[in-house]
C-alpha cells in the first residue's frame, strides 16, 4: 500500500500540471475566437469572455475589402508553405541519407559545415540574400520564399539523427546487392522508413513558413503576392479611421485554420516519430 501512494500522488500532480498547461494554451485561442466574434466598438470596451455576434460581419468586411486580398493571401501562403515543406523535408532527408550511408573524405567537414550554418541567424545574411535575388530577377516573387527551403540545417540534423537510430546499413547493402539504384533505394526503402520523421518535420516546416514574416516583408511588394502575415501587418498598420480590430482578429483566426488542418492530418506521426526514433538496430 505504501508503494502505491507515491505513484498515485505523482499521477495526480502530473494530471494537474497537464490540465493547467492545457488551459493556458487553449485560453488564448479561445480569447482569439471570442474577439473575432466582436465588433471594433465592443473590443474598445475591454475584455469579454463571452462571444459576440459579429463573426459573419467581420468575415464579410475582410473578404469584401478591395485593398485587402484575403483569399489571395491565403492561397499564396498555402503555395509557399506547402512547397517549402515538401522540398525541405525531401531534400533534407536525401542529404541526411547521403552523409549517413556513404563514406568519403570530406564527410566530417561537410557535416561540420552544415552545423555551422545552423547557428547563423537569417538576419545576418538578409542584405546579401536580397541583393542576390534582385540580381537574379526574383525580387517581388514567391520563388525566394520557396527555393531556400531546400537547405535546412535543422531539418537535416533531425533526419540524420533519425537515420542513425532507425536505418540499418545492412538493409541498404542488401538492396544494392539486389540491383537497386541509389535513388530507388532512397525513394522506395529509406523514405518509407523515415515517414514519421518526414511528417513531423513537414508540420514544423509548414507552420514556420506560414508564420514567416521577415523574409516575405523583405522581398514582396505587390499586394497580390503578399502572404498572410504581411496582410495582417497591413491591417494593423492602417490609419485610425480605417482601423478595425474585429477584422484583424478575424483574419488571424482564418490564418490559423490551415495550420490546424495540417496538424490534424499529420499529428499521428509525431508520437510514431518519437517512439520509432528510439529503436536501434
For the chain, the domains span 4-55, 62-276
DSSP 8-class letter at 240: G
**Buried/exposed 124-146: b ≥16 CB within 10 Å, e otherwise:** eeeeebeeebeeeeebeebebbb
Locate all alpha helices (DSSP H) within the chain, ordered by sequence. Answer: 4-36, 40-45, 55-63, 70-101, 107-118, 126-135, 143-146, 153-166, 169-177, 182-185, 191-193, 195-211, 214-219, 228-236, 245-266, 268-276
Q: Over 50: is that where the pLDDT of 278 sits?
A: no
- What is the pTM (predicted TM-score) of this model? 0.80
Cβ atoms within 10 Å, residue 195: 13
**What's the confidence (pLDDT) of residue 81?**
92
Q: Over 50: is that where the pLDDT of 56 sits?
A: yes
**What's the confidence (pLDDT) of residue 57?**
85
Q: Over 60: is that where the pLDDT of 177 sits?
A: yes
d(CA 55, CA 39): 8
- 263-89-184 Cα angle (round to 5): 125
Tell me, which fold does domain 62-276 have in CATH?
MetI-like fold (1.10.3720)
**What's the confidence (pLDDT) of residue 279?**
45
Largest interatomic CA distance in the chain = 75
Q: Which long-range contacts (CB under 8 A, 24 or more apart) does 174-183 make?
A: none
Task: Name residue, grid cell 503578399.
Answer: 226
Task: Return the C-alpha cell found at 2.
Answer: 505504501
Q: Over 60: is that where the pLDDT of 202 sits?
A: yes
Tell me the average pLDDT across 252-272: 78
pLDDT band at 19 (very low <50, low <70, confident <90, very high): very high
Q: Which of 62-66, 152-156, 164-168 has the lowest mean pLDDT?
A: 62-66
Mean pLDDT of the chain: 83
Q: Over 90: is that where the pLDDT of 223 sits?
A: no
Amino acid at each position: 500500500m505504501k508503494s502505491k501512494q507515491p505513484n498515485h500522488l505523482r499521477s495526480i500532480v502530473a494530471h494537474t500540471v497537464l490540465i493547467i498547461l492545457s488551459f493556458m494554451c487553449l485560453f488564448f485561442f479561445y480569447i482569439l475566437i471570442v474577439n473575432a466574434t466582436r465588433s471594433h466598438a465592443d473590443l474598445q470596451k475591454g475584455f469579454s469572455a463571452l462571444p459576440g455576434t459579429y463573426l459573419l460581419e467581420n468575415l464579410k468586411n475582410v473578404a469584401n475589402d478591395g485593398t485587402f486580398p484575403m483569399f489571395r493571401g491565403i492561397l499564396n501562403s498555402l503555395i509557399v508553405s506547402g512547397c517549402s515543406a515538401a522540398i525541405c523535408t525531401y531534400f533534407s532527408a536525401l542529404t541526411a541519407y547521403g552523409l549517413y550511408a556513404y563514406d568519403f573524405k570530406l564527410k566530417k567537414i561537410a557535416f561540420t559545415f552544415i552545423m555551422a550554418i545552423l547557428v547563423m541567424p537569417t538576419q545576418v545574411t538578409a542584405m546579401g540574400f536580397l541583393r542576390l535575388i534582385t540580381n537574379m530577377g526574383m525580387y517581388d516573387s514567391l520563388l525566394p520564399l520557396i527555393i531556400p527551403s531546400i537547405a535546412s540545417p535543422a531539418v537535416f540534423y533531425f533526419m540524420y539523427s533519425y537515420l542513425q537510430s532507425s536505418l540499418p546499413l545492412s538493409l541498404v547493402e542488401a538492396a544494392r546487392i539486389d540491383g537497386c539504384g541509389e535513388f530507388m533505394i532512397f525513394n522506395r526503402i529509406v523514405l518509407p522508413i523515415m515517414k514519421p520523421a518526414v511528417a513531423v518535420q513537414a508540420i514544423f516546416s509548414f507552420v514556420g513558413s506560414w508564420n514567416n514574416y521577415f523574409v516575405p516583408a523583405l522581398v514582396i511588394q505587390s499586394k497580390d503576392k503578399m502572404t498572410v502575415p504581411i496582410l495582417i501587418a497591413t491591417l494593423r498598420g492602417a490609419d485610425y479611421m480605417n482601423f478595425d480590430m474585429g477584422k484583424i482578429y478575424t483574419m488571424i483566426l482564418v490564418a490559423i485554420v490551415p495550420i490546424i488542418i495540417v496538424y490534424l492530418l499529420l499529428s499521428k506521426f509525431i508520437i510514431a516519430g518519437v517512439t520509432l526514433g528510439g529503436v536501434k538496430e
